[in-house]
Amino acid sequence: MNPDYWTEHFRRNAEHRPEPDWDAPVSLRGPALSKLVKSLQQFQLGDGGGPAYLIAWNRERLLGSDAKLKSLVDVWFAEEREHSRLLGSALKRFFAREIRDHWSFSLFCGVRRMAGVRFELYALLLTEIVSHVYYKMMRKHVNDRAVREMCALIIRDEAGHIAFHRARLTAENRRFGKVWEAFFRMRGLAAGTVLWMNHRGALRASGATDAEFYRGIWQGMDNFIRGLRGDLERMRAGAAMKPCSQMVAECA
């Protein structure tokens, strides 16, 4: 993987970002709004609001190995902090405060710290795949213009993050066989279930269903695995690397 190539993608992606219309009229009311606020509060903390960086005890094994890779990780997490800013603006729109901790995020960070950077990167990738589905469902179901505009920005960014992970794993040039796939899907379903436990109420109040969420995350994992194996085949056949924009479009 060429880190410069992806760093440039993140730099370009930081341009042309229309700010959501936070002053648009609010029509959400009652339980649907209060459930949405709870969900946004947790995402504001978890999606770039907490320690928005690699936190594994051995992260230097990755960051210290290559200065260009470190710059790439920096711009990736800058984008995560931007998500937190957007979610914080959505909370202000609904006159809600930000939260400082939540059990699921504390648990997530604790496991990432202890389990090492390799595990952490997989945990972040799977979280991005399942969060991508959450934001897509929110954009589809939540009847609020500013929230939909915010989701559109985050969905675009997360597609880039998922594509970057695909390029990173392709560069490992190892076998991603059936056993790897079974573990990958199992961990993805676990990550998705924790997300859904905490955010189901907000999306169901807006008309989303459990089946839609689980179908979405299964398809997200399918798409990732198929793309990764396809990229590996291309690389081993000596084909040119796909343009970054094509990889991002494939992960959208």
Residue least distant from Fe ion (Cβ): 161
**192 to 221: interface string for Fe ion, x by CB under 5 A:** ------------------------------
Q: Does 132 bind Fe ion (CB under 5 A)?
A: no
From candidates 6, 37, 41, 47, binder to Fe ion by CB under 5 A: 47
Interface positions, 89-128, toward Fe ion (CB under 5 A): 128
CA distances from 156 to 79, 119, 120, 199, 237 (A): 11, 25, 22, 21, 30
As measured in angstroms, the least distance from the Cβ of 236 to Fe ion is 28
**Sign of the alpha-carbon torsion through 76, 129, 123, 69:** negative
Cβ proximity to Fe ion: between 80 and 231 the closer is 80
- Neighbouring residues of 203: CB distance < 8 A, sequence distance ≥ 6: 39, 134, 137, 138, 141, 142, 213
Longest dimension (CA), the chain: 58
Q: Does 82 bind Fe ion (CB under 5 A)?
A: no
From candidates 83, 132, 165, 199, binder to Fe ion by CB under 5 A: 83
Indicate the length of the chain as a whole number: 252
- Neighbouring residues of 238: CB distance < 8 A, sequence distance ≥ 6: none
The residue count for binding Fe ion (CB under 5 A) is 6
Residue 110, amino acid:
G
Cβ proximity to Fe ion: between 32 and 46 the closer is 46
Cβ proximity to Fe ion: between 136 and 161 the closer is 161
For residue 152, give both structure tokens: 């559109």
- Tell me which H or E stretch contains 65: none
**139 to 168: interface string for Fe ion, x by CB under 5 A:** -------------------x--x-------
Q: Which residue ranges make up the site for Fe ion (CB under 5 A)?
A: 47, 80, 83, 128, 158, 161
